[in-house]
Amino acid sequence: MITLTALPAFTDNYIWMLHVGDRYWVVDPGDGDAVLRGLPRAAQVEGILVTHHHPDHIGGVESLVRRFGCAVFAPDDPRIPVATHRVAEGGAVDLLGTRFAVLHVPGHTSSHVAYYAAPWLFCGDTLFSLGCGRLFEGSPAQMRHSLERLADFPGDTLVCCTHEYTQSNARFALTVDPQNAHLQSLANSLGDRLRQPPYRTLPSTLRDELACNPFLRIRDSAVRTALEVHAGRMLPDCDERFAVLRAWKDGFRG
């Protein structure tokens, strides 16, 4: 049986690890030393999954390859220089007896990918708990399409994103959708979850995200109304709504 482990790194990153016994796979190791500290003495890293090129996701790849000689699966992007296998939409990665599908999910970056095998979704900086990534290289339409693809997975999918942004995202989500009872309950639970082992809010479930995350609820009437009030105009187009929502979040200081 595969076990999932989250390693904290930097200020708010998580490096996810999957393992069976002493056989480990690592997702987005921005800090190689954090991985080494989190591994049991006899552990071997067999492979690495990379979602995108940002330094806090690939900074430890080279040192882990030198240490373990492991495989590296990454998008075909020259900004990710260390890779043994390039992955793309429709591809798959077989690890620890499980096949992970590869999805191209542009928006945060142009070459961003996600990896999915029930119940795990490793979505990098595309989907966050109660939020989504900033649009550094993609358009609102691209990000909305990417999120809708991820939203099609089963409700019990574990959303293994890579930043502990949930509390700040909850404050924004409540500003957009203050009457959402499910969101209110979830937001109220976050402080307790961060004060008790394992001291994190992740992974979330896709079921909670579909009920609470405004970036997955662009078609919801309450979210649409809030966006139109904020923008001061009608927003019949979903991509325009998404653009307004993302810009609102970018400027949010609540």
Find the DSSP H helices in the chain. Answer: 32-38, 55-58, 61-68, 140-151, 166-176, 181-195, 206-212, 221-231, 238-250
Confirm if 16 and 39 have CB atoms less than 8 A apart.
no
pLDDT at 140: 97
How far is residue 69's CA from residue 48's CA, in Å, rounded to a whole number? 11
Q: In what order do the strands lie in the sheet with 44-49?
A: 3-9, 13-20, 23-27, 44-49, 71-75, 85-87
- Predicted TM-score (pTM) of the model is 0.97
Q: Is residue 221 packed enough to be buried (19+ CB in 10 Å), middle (13-18) or exposed (0-12)?
A: exposed
Q: Which residues contact 11 (CB under 8 A, 6 or more apart)?
A: none
How far is residue 13's CA from residue 203's CA, in Å, rounded to a whole number? 13
Which has the closest alpha carbon to 213: 242, 191, 253, 189? Answer: 242
Structural domain range at position 232:
3-250
Q: How is residue 215 written in tokens?
A: 């970036």
Q: What is the rounded average pLDDT for all residues in the chain? A: 97
Active-site residue list:
52, 54, 56-57, 108, 125, 163
165-177 pLDDT tens trace: 999 999 999 999 9
pLDDT at 129: 98
Confirm if 214 and 223 have CB atoms less than 8 A apart.
yes
> What backbone torsions phi and psi does residue 52 show, to the nearest 5 degrees?
-165, 175
Q: Which residues contact 197 (CB under 8 A, 6 or more apart)?
A: none
Q: How is residue 6 written in tokens?
A: 């989250």
Q: What three-state secondary structure class fits 169?
A: helix
% of the chain at pLDDT higher than 70: 100
Domain tally for the chain?
1
| Residue 254 pLDDT greater than 90, yes or no | no
110-164 pLDDT tens trace: 999 999 999 999 999 999 999 999 999 999 999 999 999 999 999 999 999 999 9
Q: What angle do CA 95, 97, 103 make, to 5 degrees?
A: 50
CATH code of the domain in which 110 resides? 3.60.15.10
Q: Are strands 85-87 and 71-75 parallel, antiparallel or unpaired?
A: parallel
